[in-house]
Copies of this chain bind each other. A is one copy, B any other.
């Protein structure tokens, strides 16, 4: 058995190592175009901010160590330029010597990854202060650039995971950062309402964030971009830029596969079967270059994540040795730290659920992440997407100063196991006041969602509130008077929950009444009280004052819009 692997990072190195564990005698050769194998892609941006100070730390294993510890031949600076399926060889170009040779295989694993998109349409994209981040060599170049004292202004183009992590780390390195994103929000896994918290966090930390803006040219000391307004109006602007980092997305490396006549899927990734075999059964493909099956949409998709790459690699290796795989499909769980906010998501969001044709609803809540009296307790924004009418959990997003990743990992487990809101409602998680609350964030999410699912109350979302205010709707704020005084929705009527029963005559019966408090806990009590007293047109404002404030703040500030609250209050 001779295994050849194309690509020496997450998927490739995992496939090679797994085959070695299964077969002590196999000959294993791994080709890597770059200078390093087995480095941590995901940690690259952290080198810029000196979270990982030493470049060498980014590399987990050298070719020498691969040979010594695993008897795997890792050849760096070696690009596989062709697959010769007829004679089961690959043609390899030695990038140091320029020579080309053929290497035979019994089984071939393609793990070529995906390359950063660098649009030729952007004038100046080839300048030597324009970078992308794919490997250790790239990040060393970027670091060398931003570490120069004369480099003051750095522009990051693209607000996905790499863009956000890069922007933060460049700020940590002491530079001024502008982030330019083509869509009206960063971080596609999050819905527009949730992501406003991250927009605010970037803004609070001095990042100059330009949304709905496309870079058109990179010039001497500046970048030119065009912003498209809500009305479709286009406005050109310039941002100072001594260094530009492109992170607008990646494209799967499918050239080799295409040239070899392997089937490419409808999403542009290499098509694979249940066992990660391509259309040639002796050639497997794993990682960012392939098309995966989504467990929730039941459709093909793409996924550029290290965890799935590793287990696809394992599954491919196992299949070579007759070990059966279970492939239930992927749900796409991810997380990111954005300065002081931890943000995580799993499964579908509103956009992807709609696109998949689901009938669904969602709730957004702001419960405490720990018992309120604990010194590091804070609210956590939590959004839960569920199918209607089944209550099947489809996805979740969590953002907060506390453990958002924990909540999302729990939801990922529940989704994977096909759980419904009823399962989540009573899920028994571990509790101590220093870690959580007796009913955890995720339990609260299920309880609120079940109320919506069971028509216990109607709700409007934070995105609807501006319209309500502008149309003069009746909004009742049931917080205490001191809270109201510290900031409230313009025109809202304040009747504290503690006074509500004595002031029922102040609530109109002829129009819808929109109720909120700080985090929707008291407004829920108010709603039950009002319903029980015969009011039948009461609507809960999902997310309440916290949600509204976080939703409106960034756009108000950057668009010079008239706030719908008298004063912002994020406590």
A residues in contact (CB < 8 Å) with B: 10, 20-25, 40, 42-43, 46, 51-52, 57-58, 60, 65, 68-71, 161, 165, 305-311, 326, 328, 330-337, 342, 344-346, 371-375, 403, 405-406, 408-410, 412-414, 416-419, 422-423, 425-436, 438-440, 443, 497-499, 501, 522, 524-525, 528-529, 531-533
Contact = CB atoms under 8 A, between A and B. Distances in A.
B430 A525 contact: no
Contacts of A522: 69
A434 B305 CA distance: 15
A511 B418 CA distance: 48
Given A326-B422, A438-B10, A24 B532 contact: yes
A81 B362 CA distance: 47
A414 B412 contact: no
A42 B412 contact: no
A375 B53 CA distance: 10
Nearest to A59: B373
Nearest to A347: B428
B24 A529 contact: yes
A60 B438 CA distance: 13
A429 B374 contact: no
Contacts of A328: 426
A431 B307 contact: yes
B330 A428 contact: yes
B532 A332 contact: no
Contact of A435 (B71, B405, B528): B405
Contacts of A408: 430
18 contacts: A21-B525, A24-B528, A24-B529, A40-B371, A42-B432, A65-B498, A306-B431, A306-B438, A307-B440, A333-B429, A337-B434, A345-B430, A403-B403, A405-B430, A405-B435, A406-B409, A413-B417, A417-B419
A531 B58 CA distance: 32
A326 B430 contact: no
Nearest to A328: B426
Contact of A433 (B24, B46, B330, B418): B46
A429 B417 contact: no
B499 A337 contact: no
Report the copy number of this chain in the oligomer.
Answer: 2
A497 B66 CA distance: 11
B436 A405 contact: yes
A438 B307 contact: yes
Which of A345, A433, A532 has the largest number of chain B CB atoms within 10 A?
Answer: A433
A525 B17 CA distance: 9
A129 to B, nearest CB: 27
A403 B344 CA distance: 15
Given A10-B438, A403-B403, A336 B432 contact: yes
Contacts of A326: 422, 426
Cβ-closest 4 pairs across A and B: A24-B532, A417-B417, A68-B498, A413-B413
A492 to B, nearest CB: 19
A373 B43 contact: yes
A439 B408 CA distance: 16
Contacts of A403: 403, 405-406
Given A24-B531, A422-B326, A438-B306, A429 B414 contact: no
Contact of A532 (B25, B310, B434, B531): B25
A346 B430 contact: yes
A335 B430 contact: yes
B435 A416 contact: no
A15 to B, nearest CB: 14
B71 A501 contact: yes
A400 to B, nearest CB: 13
Given A24-B532, A330-B428, 15 more contacts: A42-B438, A43-B371, A43-B374, A305-B431, A306-B431, A311-B425, A326-B426, A334-B430, A335-B430, A337-B432, A405-B436, A409-B410, A409-B429, A412-B428, A413-B429
A409 B433 contact: no
B418 A430 contact: no
B405 A405 contact: no
A424 B328 CA distance: 12
B311 A439 contact: yes
Contact of A410 (B21, B331, B413): B413
A347 to B, nearest CB: 10
A427 B439 contact: no
Interface centre among A165, A419, A438, A529 (most CB of B within 10 A): A438
Contacts of A68: 498-499
Contacts of A332: 428
A294 B529 CA distance: 36
A229 to B, nearest CB: 33
Contacts of A405: 403, 406, 430, 432, 435-436
B433 A43 contact: yes
Contact of A310 (B346, B427, B439): B439
A334 B430 CA distance: 4
Contacts of A418: 417
A570 B511 CA distance: 67
A546 B298 CA distance: 43
